[in-house]
Structures are given as C-alpha cells and as structure tokens.
C-alpha cells in the first residue's frame, strides 16, 4: 500500500506572531512543519513499520522554502518527496486540493493522510475538498488508525481513501541527526501547477491583517449586587 502525506511549512507554533503594515510579519520568524502534518507523517510511518504500507510519499505545495519540511519528512522516514512550486502565490485550500489531486493521479497512492488543519489559517478544508475532487471516502479528525479508524465514532472504509489526523492520533517522533544529514542529499522531485495541468487562480485576497484590540484591565467586585450593577452599566444585561 502506498501512502501520500501532504505537509505544509508554517510559522512555528511557539513563535509570537507580529503584524506589520497590514500583514503578518514572517520574514524573521522561525518556520517548521505544521504540527498536524507531523502527526500525519508519524501515522504513515507507523503503518509502514507495521508492514501495512510499503511506500510513503511526502508532498508540499508552496515556495522554494517548502523544501525544508520535505527534508524533515525524508529524515523521519519518508521514501520520496515532491515539491509543487507555486512561488510567492498565497495557498488556499481549494487550490492545494487541486494540486494534490493531480499528484494523486500521478502517484496512485492507496491512502492519503493529512493533518486536519494548518495552524496558520486553521481552514480545516483541504482534506475534505481533496476527497470530494477524487470522489474517495474520507475519515476526518482521526484519533486512531488501524485496519479501521476509530475516534468518537468508529468508521470502516475501503481504500483508496482520505484521512485527516487529529492531535490525539499520536505523538510524532524526532528525526535523528544521521537521518537529517542523509536527508540533505536525497533528491526532491520538483513540479509546478503548469506541469501538473492545473490552472487555478484564487479568488480570495487578504486585504489587511490587524492585531486584536488589547484587553482592558479587569475590575474586582465585592458582591453579587455590585457585579450585577457593573454589568448593567456596561449594557451586558438589562
């Protein structure tokens, strides 16, 4: 069984995001693999170690720096990496899903495992859109994968299929230093939307980004009556 694992490069989850000139300032921010994608990679690795799969292909859609997370996937144990170079274009779920469909048509995997969402846009749409484009069954928010997927609901389905990984699914491993060094020398297949035969122009444009307003300091009250009075002053209750 072949497994395709789409992964995304995002600002590291531990970095405090800053907004400058109406945009998220990512120039100097540390980037890493999306945490949900790490879980998807780990799930694929465990299936391979259990001899339920024989090949893992990692794929990332984005600019030149997307190669960084593909190197990480190779260091962890992926057999092959594919980079869909979209340059500086903003990635949107439908566009990514269409690129992934073209990769699926080419690679012919039996299973696609994705993170349920990326922490930069929190869209939680790509896996479902890909399943729709392929007309494949899907199991979302997976918390366990065996011969069937189990979570709050137990679902059994035939492959080929799409699975999106929840945080409860597993705890990702770390790549060892020797494997990191080996991954630097491994080839990464590069392609483009044009080569994939996908012509997609996103219709969503980010006009501006603003930080949320700073919260005002709280006020301590001495009694329930005083609390009710304060709430009435603020118009929270009548």
Q: Using an 8 Å Cβ cutoff, are 101 and 134 in contact?
A: yes
Q: What is the pLDDT of residues 21-51, one digit of tens each?
A: 877 777 778 889 999 999 999 999 998 998 8
C-alpha distances (whole Å) from 9 to each of 72, 123, 155, 225, 237 are: 11, 15, 30, 52, 45
237: how many CB neighbours lie within 10 A of its CB? 8
The answer for 116, left when phi > 0, alpha when psi is -120 to 50, beta otherwise, is alpha
Classify residue 167 by its DSSP letter: G
Cα(45)–Cα(24) distance, integer angstroms: 33
- Nearest partner of 47 among 132, 120, 146, judged by Cα: 146
The answer to which of 149-153, 168-172, 214-218, 221-225 has the lowest mean pLDDT is 149-153
Q: To the nearest 10°, the Cα dihedral for 48, 53, 57, 61?
A: -90
Q: Indicate whether 52 pLDDT > 50.
A: yes
Per-residue pLDDT at 67 exceeds 80: yes
Residues 163/143, Cβ–Cβ less than 8 Å: no
Q: What is the pTM of this model?
A: 0.78
Categorize the per-residue pLDDT at 150 as very low, low, confident or very high, splitting at 50, 70 and 90. very low
- Name which residue leads in pLDDT, 73 or 22: 73
């Amino acid at each position: 069984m072949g497994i395709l694992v789409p992964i995304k490069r995002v600002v590291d989850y531990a970095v405090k995001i800053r907004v400058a000139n109406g945009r998220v300032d990512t120039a100097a921010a540390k980037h890493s693999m999306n945490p949900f994608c790490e879980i998807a990679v780990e799930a694929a690795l465990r299936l391979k170690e259990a001899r339920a799969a024989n090949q893992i292909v990692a794929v990332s859609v984005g600019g030149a720096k997307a190669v960084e997370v593909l190197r990480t996937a190779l260091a962890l144990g992926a057999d092959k990496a594919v980079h869909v170079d979209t340059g500086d274009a903003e990635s949107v779920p439908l566009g990514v899903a269409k690129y992934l469909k073209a990769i699926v048509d080419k690679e012919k995997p039996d299973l696609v495992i994705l993170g349920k969402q990326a922490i930069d846009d929190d869209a939680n749409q790509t896996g479902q859109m890909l399943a729709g484009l392929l007309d494949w069954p899907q199991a979302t928010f997976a918390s366990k994968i065996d011969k069937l997927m189990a979570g709050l609901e137990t679902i059994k389905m035939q492959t080929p299929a799409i699975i999106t990984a929840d945080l409860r699914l597993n705890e990702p491993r770390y790549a060892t230093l020797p494997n990191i060094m080996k991954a630097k020398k491994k080839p990464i297949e590069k392609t483009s939307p044009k080569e994939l035969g996908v012509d997609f122009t996103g219709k969503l444009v980010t006009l501006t980004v603003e930080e949320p307003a700073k919260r005002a300091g709280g006020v301590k009250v001495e009694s329930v009556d005083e609390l009710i009075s304060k709430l009435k002053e603020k118009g929270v209750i009548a």
